[in-house]
C-alpha cells in the first residue's frame, strides 16, 4: 500500500513537472508533441504559401497579359525595335465582337475582356453541339477578342485567338490574316500539351512560316485550309489551301486543321470576317467609282 502511494506521488510530481516544463519539453516521441509540431508546421507553411500566392497574384496577372501582348505582336509581324511591349502594342486596336453576328460590340471592355476566361463563365458561355464542335472545345464565349493592325485607317492585319484539341490537350494560339480576311500572314501557338518533337512541332518557327500566304476560304466562302499528310508540292491543285502535316503527328495535325476551320468558319469568326470582306469590297468599289468619275 505504501509502495502504491509512493508511485502515485511520483506520477503526480512528474505530471506537475511536465506541466511546468511546457509543450516543448515533452519527449520528442510524445504523441502530443508529434501532432502539435506537425500541426504548427502545416499552419506556418500554409500561411507562407497563401501569403506568397496573394502577393504574387498581381505580378502573375501582369506577366500573363504581357505574354499575350507579346504573342499578338509576334504573329502580327510588329517588331519591338527598342520599344517596350506596351509601347509596341499601341499600334494594335483591340475590339470585341459578338461571335454570332460578327458585329463589333461595346457590351464589355475590349481592353480587359478575355474570351478564354469568358468561355468558362456561365454569363458568356455558349455550348456547341457535336456537329458544330469540330475543334473539340465544348463551348465558347459569345463575345470574342479581335486585334487589328491598321494602316492609314484601313485594316492591314486581323489577329484572332484560336484554340482546339490536339492529341493530349487543348492548343491555344493566334492566327493573323491580311486585310483581305482570307490570306494567312502568321500563326503562333503559345500553350499546348503536345509531345516535343512530334505534335509539339506546332511551335516550330520554320513550319509556322510555311503558313504565310496560304488562303483560307474557297470560292464559296468555306474555310478549306488544311494540314495534309506529307509535304505540299507547289503548283499542285489547291496547294494554296494546304499546309505540310507534322511528321509522326497526324493527330495533332488534324487538331490544327479542325481548329483553323472552326474559328475561321461560321461558328467562329466567319460572320465577322464576312463583314470585313464586305467592307473591303465596298471600299474598292467606291475607289474605282471615284477614279472613273475623275477620269
Ligand X SMILES: Cc1cc2nc3c(=O)[nH]c(=O)nc-3n(C[C@H](O)[C@H](O)[C@H](O)COP(=O)(O)O)c2cc1C
Q: Which is nearer to ligand X, 102 or 245 (CB)?
A: 245
Q: Which of 104, 101, 261, 258 shows the shortest CA–CA distance to 167?
A: 258
The answer to whether residues 207 and 201 touch, using CB atoms and an 8 Å cutoff, is: yes
Q: How far is the CB of 268 from ligand X (least distance, A)?
A: 22
Q: How far is the CB of 288 from ligand X (least distance, A)?
A: 47
Write down the residue that cell numbers 494567312 correspond to: 184
Q: Which is nearer to ligand X, 133 or 194 (CB)?
A: 194
- Options 94, 183, 195, 210; binder of ligand X; rule CB under 6 A: 195
Q: Which is nearer to ligand X, 70 or 195 (CB)?
A: 195
Which of the 8 DSSP states describes residue 183? Answer: B
The answer to whether residues 159 and 75 touch, using CB atoms and an 8 Å cutoff, is: yes
Burial class (CB in 10 A: 0-12, 13-18, 19+), 66: middle
Q: Which is nearer to ligand X, 1 or 233 (CB)?
A: 233
> β-pairing, 242-244 with 226-228?
parallel
Residues in contact with ligand X, counted by CB under 6 A, come to a total of 10
- Options 198, 212, 228, 239; binder of ligand X; rule CB under 6 A: 198
Q: Which of residues 245-264 bind ligand X (CB under 6 A)?
A: 248-252
Q: Please, which residues have CB within 8 angstroms of residue 41's CB and are 6 or more apart in sequence?
A: none
The answer to whether residues 148 and 155 touch, using CB atoms and an 8 Å cutoff, is: yes
Dihedral sign from CA coordinates of 194, 197, 198, 202: positive
Q: Which is nearer to ligand X, 177 or 243 (CB)?
A: 243
Q: Among 38-46, 169-177, 243-251, 256-264, which window interacts with ligand X (CB under 6 A)?
A: 243-251
- Options 194, 214, 232, 243; binder of ligand X; rule CB under 6 A: 194
Q: How far is the CB of 128 from ligand X (least distance, A)?
A: 23
Which spans of this chain sit near ligand X (rule: CB under 6 A)? 167, 194-195, 198-199, 248-252
Amino acid at each position: 500500500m505504501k509502495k502504491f502511494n509512493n508511485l502515485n506521488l511520483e506520477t503526480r510530481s512528474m505530471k506537475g513537472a511536465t506541466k511546468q516544463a511546457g509543450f516543448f519539453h515533452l519527449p520528442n516521441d510524445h504523441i502530443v508533441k508529434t501532432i502539435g509540431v506537425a500541426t504548427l508546421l502545416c499552419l506556418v507553411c500554409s500561411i507562407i504559401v497563401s501569403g506568397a500566392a496573394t502577393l504574387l497574384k498581381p505580378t502573375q496577372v501582369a506577366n500573363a497579359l504581357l505574354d499575350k501582348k507579346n504573342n499578338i505582336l509576334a504573329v502580327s509581324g510588329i517588331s519591338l525595335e527598342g520599344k517596350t511591349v506596351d509601347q509596341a502594342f499601341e499600334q494594335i486596336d483591340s475590339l470585341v465582337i459578338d461571335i454570332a453576328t460578327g458585329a463589333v460590340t461595346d457590351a464589355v471592355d475590349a481592353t480587359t475582356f478575355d474570351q478564354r476566361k469568358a468561355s468558362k463563365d456561365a454569363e458568356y458561355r455558349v455550348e456547341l453541339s457535336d456537329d458544330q464542335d469540330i475543334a473539340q472545345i465544348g463551348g465558347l464565349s459569345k463575345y470574342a477578342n479581335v486585334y487589328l493592325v491598321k494602316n492609314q485607317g484601313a485594316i492591314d492585319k486581323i489577329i484572332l485567338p484560336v484554340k482546339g484539341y490536339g492529341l493530349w490537350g487543348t492548343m491555344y494560339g493566334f492566327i493573323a490574316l491580311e486585310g483581305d480576311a482570307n490570306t494567312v500572314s502568321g500563326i503562333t501557338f503559345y500553350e499546348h500539351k503536345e509531345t516535343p518533337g512530334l505534335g509539339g512541332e506546332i511551335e516550330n518557327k520554320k513550319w509556322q512560316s510555311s503558313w504565310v500566304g496560304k488562303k483560307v476560304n474557297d470560292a464559296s466562302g468555306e474555310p478549306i485550309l488544311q494540314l495534309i499528310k506529307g509535304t505540299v508540292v507547289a503548283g499542285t491543285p489547291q496547294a494554296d489551301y494546304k499546309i505540310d502535316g507534322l511528321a509522326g503527328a497526324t493527330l495533332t495535325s488534324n487538331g490544327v486543321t479542325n481548329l483553323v476551320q472552326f474559328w475561321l468558319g461560321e461558328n467562329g469568326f466567319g460572320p465577322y470576317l464576312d463583314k470585313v470582306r464586305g467592307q473591303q469590297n465596298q471600299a474598292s468599289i467606291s475607289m474605282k467609282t471615284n477614279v472613273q468619275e475623275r477620269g
